[in-house]
Structure 1
Amino acid sequence: MTAPLMTPEDVTAHFTRANGDFTFARWGRPIVPVVFGVEDATLEVVKGAVEAVVMLAGHKMAETDPELGANLMVFFFRDWDELLDVPKLDEMIPGLVSLVARLKAESATQYRAFRFDDDNAIQACFTFVCMQGAMAEQPADTIALTQAVQAVLVWGDGAFSTNSPLALLPDGQTILRPEIAGLIGASYDPVLPAAANDPAHALRLFARMQVQAAQDQTQH
């Protein structure tokens, strides 16, 4: 399947915050996931989704992070208040009490908090998924793949507000939309910096997506 090419404006929009700032960051170290609040079968689904997205990006996973042990922490729960009972979480997430209150007031179903290293690359990601309402109705593989995509890069606030990063095939299989897969692959091109605040970075991503799409067509 050939990825529909995004326009440069589309690429820029995926990394633009609500205040208009362009912010791009990818992981600067191997990803080590740990998942809380699910049964073993779902745990394998989540870790499998992370592995698939990391492989797509051309990035690496590891058994342990030398500083943090695990650096991609995914929490599943049914009520935001449950986070207040997680030991030492308030040390890792400053202002946890006020954050939980805000997310409850917004009826949010997910939230991510990133940490960055000295190069502004992603050092850690805390992903919180509240299994209420529509979120609780989604299949585990859909939730897992969506969360893996949203943790592999720092996306703009509205990147997936109107369009899911996933697509449903006629046979019922859920896949990553080809253009999003292409954008993730381009984002991890080793020639590009791990972080950027200049919108011109979107043009470099766009150029690499074009090259990759051309190579895919040649191979087919």
Structure 2
Amino acid sequence: MSEARLREELCAIAADLFGRGLTHGSTGNISARTEDGGLLVSPTGSSFGRLDPARLARFDADGRHVDGDAPTKEMPLHAAFYETRAGAGAVVHLHSCHSVALSLLPAEDEGNWLPPLTPYSVMQLGKVRLLPYFLPGDPAMGDAVRGLAGRRSAVMLANHGPVVAGKNAQSAANAIEELEATARLALLTRGMPVRALDDAQVAQVVERFDVQWD
């Protein structure tokens, strides 16, 4: 995909997420690999509803900021996913309401934080790791992602929001929407006798769709 088209796509995806209330104000950030190995990144303090393709931060293949506005302060998160997941072509981070709300409640399993309520969260996300609270922009967030050694495509920052890496911007956006939808289901059914997928059903999904689940 040409850089001009990628710029337009990133802004269109961000505007769609914003328009449906999946992030708000100047929250959230998005990035994607360019054909030459560089990165396009949403600027710091920008709104997903009003991104300008011409003002996206541009990094070259060596990680130098070469054009556009200053990038999001959450660059440590984005960089960590690109460094540890060879197939990562895009990263999306939102402050989506239901996933943040679920992160405020006690977690049964921080290593597999999102309950397997439907096959689709398993298919698109694998296991989601709940990370502790960090000050926004803290480089330690990137260190925490690097500590997963590329084994997770999605993490949940406690009291903050989800971060998902995908092969391209649309797949990352689809996956983070699935995370938010599953978190909403978990909240709606909390305290009820839920019929979540059992271990055998999860194993079927993992095998059929070649999901990383270790």
If the length of structure 1 is used for normalisation, what is the TM-score? 0.30
Structure with bigger RCO (C-alpha 8 Å, 6+ apart): 1
Higher Rg: 1
If the length of structure 2 is used for normalisation, what is the TM-score? 0.31
